[in-house]
Amino acid sequence: MKKNNRRDFIKAGVVTGVTMMTTSSHAKSSTPKEIKGPFYPITPHADKDFDLTHVDGQAGVAEGDVVEIMGRVLDTDGNPISGVTVDIWQANAAGRYRHPHDNNDAPLDPFFQGWAIVESGKEGAFRFKTIIPGAYPVMPNWTRPPHIHFKVSKAGYHELVTQMYFPNHPLNEVDHLLQGKSNEEQAMMVAKEVREQVLRYDIVLSQVSSNRM
């Protein structure tokens, strides 16, 4: 893969992401879609539990500011959905993904898990413990703000790929992907601060229609 893969993939996604939102009939009620990005994990990880700050078999802990993300998965009528697969991945505190194609010069963190797969429980609840990811450059005039990737799926619902942003980060105001969304959509994609080091991020899925032609 060419070294400019991060730039080209995300640059193309600015247009793709906006198109997906304007053509989706569920865009105003379900959580907005976003590009998957080029760094979805491809290297098998034995440890994919909810705590990304520690890797099984390693004595150290991840660098960075620890934060707990909690939330619920709901349908478009506000009903909780249990048994949903919530797949998350992100860059480390230095802005580097644990991915063989990420050519960022930032260092890897051997103690950062970087990927987790959890399942929503009773009342649609999920949570995970992680660190605030670092920002990273895409091109000279664009640095992506800290964000966490989500892939959320359950049979009977449309799979959702999106990104969660951190509240009050100055780079949110100039990010090409986030600013391509409406104010209402942006509000759904930015986590809410519950208290220090705890954020809430609820996800809304749209149900697959059972109507047949």
Q: Cα(151)–Cα(153) distance, rounded to whole angstroms?
A: 7
Q: Which domains does the chain have, with CATH numbers?
A: 5-205 (2.60.130.10)
pLDDT digits (tens, 9 = 90+) for 3-33: 444 445 444 444 444 433 333 333 347 999 9
**Joined tokens for residue 59:** 């004595």
pLDDT digits (tens, 9 = 90+) for 97-107: 999 999 999 99
Tell me 121's DSSP state: -
3-state secondary structure of 24: coil
Across the strands, what pairs with 51?
129
**Joined tokens for residue 105:** 């010069």
What is the model's pLDDT at position 29?
Answer: 77
Across the strands, what pairs with 136?
144
